[in-house]
Amino acid sequence: MSNENYVIYEEELEHINRILMKLLKGAEAKCVLLVDKDGYLVTRQGFTHSLDTTALAALLAGSFASTKEIARLVGEPEFSVLFHQGKKDHIHISLVGERTILVVIFDDRTTIGMVRLYAKEMGAELLTILSGVNKTKKTAPKGLDSQFTASAESRLDDLFHE
Amino acid sequence: MVTINYASREISCKIVFYGPGLSGKTTNLQYVHKKVPTQTRGELISLATDTDRTLFFDFLPINLGTIQGFSTRFQLYTVPGQVYYNATRKLVLRGVDGLVFVGDSQLSKMDENVESLNNLMENLKEYGYKLEELPLVIQYNKRDLENVASLEELEKIINTYGCPYFEAVAVKGVGVFDTLKMICKLVMAKIQKQAGVAPEPTVERQVAVPAVESGLSSGLSPLSQERKKLEPTEVVKYPDVDRKSFEQENEGKREKEPVFSSSKEFGEKTEVLREDKPEGFQTTAQSSQIPEIKPLQTSDAKVTKSKHTESKAFETNVSETTLRGAKSLEMDTKKKAEEVKKIWPEFSGLKVIRDTPRAQAKKRKKRFFLFRWFKKSKKS
């Protein structure tokens, strides 16, 4: 796995969002999340206001990671698609590239087939962008101000006092 | 690893609390969750067994707020301490930025501490990390109990790298914040070091991301996203081009544009229509951007087609057609009345039957959707 930082610029994110929107509309899903395997939320689209997406991202990444271990024990390299079925809402999880997970939450207005189809199609599109992200990040100069640590420290002192 | 999202201006770091079973990792998080103001923290999520043993991980997001324009978040994780949960413990370590080793100070637990530390090194090795390269803070927990090892002993056994350490009583909150503060600072310093002090490459884009929206996690609200998507990109690109000067420049060079060719009077019609457009019916941003719609100048000279003229012509055409559709009903009624008058000049009883307000509203809605459909079809 890559040990480098993950840097996303707005251009790429907009592109990704556009694809997610396409997926959302095409498959008539409720919402779509793009989650990093480390548990960070990269971006989201759709009706996510009622959801705690930060926690969701962490749990989904955990769940995916544990399935990967299960796969390994069974002798598979990785299960690339997961599906959780509920009474009303269902979740379709698929792997995009090496480190991102595409999560589609949908209900009975659409079918699993549609979601799968679109997730596969858009997953391929996302992959081209994400591989681009990995390339650009090496060359892109990333900068934080030298004052960053100092202001962060003072914020920490404010926040964590007994 | 640290994720820096320049688009939504976020930095996220992952801090993992590691240590043997029952050493107080979850207690640390619970205390933080209890004491930190609600607006800066998320919910504490605990995947535990019925007996409160962590099964997979505990998770607590903390939002430090905006620092130098970056919304900074720490995600605190704990691992299950029991030896037999190693498979899941390893998973949590993925992408870790900083580690807190919570050791048990009791003499009887010393072996477990050492075993856990070795296990940590092993697991990190599998991900290709090295313990000495990661920010690490050691917390000697349960200092209030009897039968605890002295600090010197603990330092000798556990703290082989000479990391910062704290004595703690996690249940009472002693030393919890000190540990957290220290690891956060170490992680921050690491980010700073990695990110360097090079100037921000996306200075122009900073303006494009409104501060309010960037505060909302990594995604803007779906509505604003949609709005953003619908905004005319091409027109915004050339806002400064003055149509008149452009026409002067290209005078005599312009070709007869196919879109306009058959609708010379069409432009005039639109002018009239535009003045009394129905309420609730919006014209596009595009059409307001275009200074005015003139009857087309045609000339027999040579062709110069620029992307600019093409796109503008197309957009104008769309808005015209939409307006025509919206007004066509009323036009028909007037026309009919005129026809009847020609045959029967005395007739004056024909009245234009107006729709009820409700029907009008319905029509307006229909028009609006029609208009949106046009926009959409234009996009695709």
Indicate the pTM of the whole model.
0.61
Residues B197-225 pLDDT 10s = 443 433 333 333 333 333 334 444 444 44
- A94 interfacial to chain B (CB closer than 8 Å): no
Banded model confidence at residue B250, pLDDT cuts 50, 70, 90:
low
A153: nearest CB among B6, B177, B185: B185
pLDDT at B284 over 90: no
Task: Write out chain B in H/E/C secondary structure.
Answer: CCEEECCCCEEEEEEEEECCCCCCHHHHHHHHHHHCCHHHECCCEEEECCCCCEEEEEEEEEEEEEECCEEEEEEEEECCCCHHHHHHHHHHCCCCCEEEEEEECEHHHHHHHHHHHHHHHHHHHHHCCCHHHCCEEEEEECCCCCCECCHHHHHHHCCCCCCCEEECECCCCECHHHHHHHHHHHHHHHHHHHHCECCCCCHHHHHHCCHHHHCCCCCCCHHHHHHHHHCCHHHHHCCCCCHHHHHHHCCCCCCCCCCCCCCHHHHHHHHHHHHCCCCCCCCCHHHHHCCCCCCCCCCCCCCCCCHHHHHHHHHHHHHHHHHHHHHHHHHHHHHHHHHHHHHCCCCCCCCCCCCCHHHHHHHHHHHHHHHHHHHHHHHC
Residue A101: strand, helix, or coil: strand
CB contacts of A1 in chain B (<8 Å) are 94, 127-128
Domain extent listing, chain B: 3-205, 231-379
Write the DSSP symbol of residue A72: H
CB contacts of B231 in chain A (<8 Å) are none
In sequence order, what DSSP letters do the residues of A15-68 get, joined into one string? HHHHHHHHHHHHHT-SEEEEEETTS-EEEEEES-TTS-HHHHHHHHHHHHHHHH
CB-CB under 8 Å, B208 with A162: no
Q: State mean pLDDT over B313-327.
A: 46
Banded model confidence at residue B14, pLDDT cuts 50, 70, 90:
very high
The whole-angstrom distance between A112's CA and the closest CA on chain B is 23
> What is the CATH code of the structural domain delimited by A10-159?
3.30.450.30
Q: State mean pLDDT over B94-109.
A: 92
The whole-angstrom distance between A42's CA and the closest CA on chain B is 7
CB-CB under 8 Å, A156 with B184: yes
Banded model confidence at residue B121, pLDDT cuts 50, 70, 90:
very high
Task: Look at the block and give the residue holding tokens 């990785």.
Answer: A78
CB-CB under 8 Å, B173 with A143: no
The whole-angstrom distance between A113's CA and the closest CA on chain B is 24
Second-level CATH architecture of B3-205:
3-Layer(aba) Sandwich (3.40)
Q: Please tell me the total number of residues recorded for chain A in this structure.
A: 162
The whole-angstrom distance between A141's CA and the closest CA on chain B is 7
pLDDT at A115 over 90: yes
Cβ-contact B116, B89 below 8 angstroms: no
Q: Is B222 left (phi over 0), alpha (psi -120 to 50) or beta?
A: alpha
Cβ-contact B158, B114 below 8 angstroms: yes
CB-CB under 8 Å, B42 with A54: yes
Banded model confidence at residue B301, pLDDT cuts 50, 70, 90:
very low
- The per-residue pLDDT for B25 is 92
The whole-angstrom distance between A66's CA and the closest CA on chain B is 7
B222: nearest CB among A3, A46, A148: A46
Residues B155-187 pLDDT 10s = 988 888 889 999 999 999 999 999 999 999 899
pLDDT at B143 over 80: yes
Highest mean pLDDT out of B14-28, B337-351, B366-380: B14-28
- The per-residue pLDDT for B237 is 43
Q: State mean pLDDT over B352-379.
A: 83
A52: nearest CB among B43, B57, B177: B43
Cβ-contact B116, B100 below 8 angstroms: no
- The per-residue pLDDT for B294 is 47
Round to whole Å and give the CA distance between B165 and A158. Answer: 21
Write the DSSP symbol of residue A97: T
- The per-residue pLDDT for A111 is 92
Cβ-contact B106, B147 below 8 angstroms: yes
Domain extent listing, chain A: 10-159
The whole-angstrom distance between A120's CA and the closest CA on chain B is 21
Nearest alpha-carbon partner for A51 in A35, A28, A37, A68:
A35
Compare all CA atoms of chain A with the CA of B15 and give the residue at the minimum distance.
A38
Residues A14-35 pLDDT 10s = 889 999 999 999 999 999 999 9
Q: State mean pLDDT over B331-342.
A: 70
Write out the two tokens for B82: 């029991």
Helical packing angle, A112-139 and A10-27, nearest 10°:
170
Banded model confidence at residue B247, pLDDT cuts 50, 70, 90:
low
Q: State mean pLDDT over A4-18.
A: 79
H or E stretch at A96: strand A90-96
- A36 interfacial to chain B (CB closer than 8 Å): yes
- A98 interfacial to chain B (CB closer than 8 Å): no
CB contacts of B208 in chain A (<8 Å) are 10
Q: State mean pLDDT over A54-66.
A: 88
Banded model confidence at residue B376, pLDDT cuts 50, 70, 90:
confident
pLDDT, chain A, mean: 84
Banded model confidence at residue B309, pLDDT cuts 50, 70, 90:
very low
- The per-residue pLDDT for A1 is 42
Task: Look at the block and give the residue holding tokens 């202001």.
Answer: A151
ipTM of this complex:
0.79
CB contacts of B68 in chain A (<8 Å) are 144-145, 147-148, 151
Residues B20-65 pLDDT 10s = 999 999 999 999 999 988 888 888 888 887 777 888 889 999 988 8
Residues B258-275 pLDDT 10s = 444 444 555 555 554 454
Write the DSSP symbol of residue A147: T
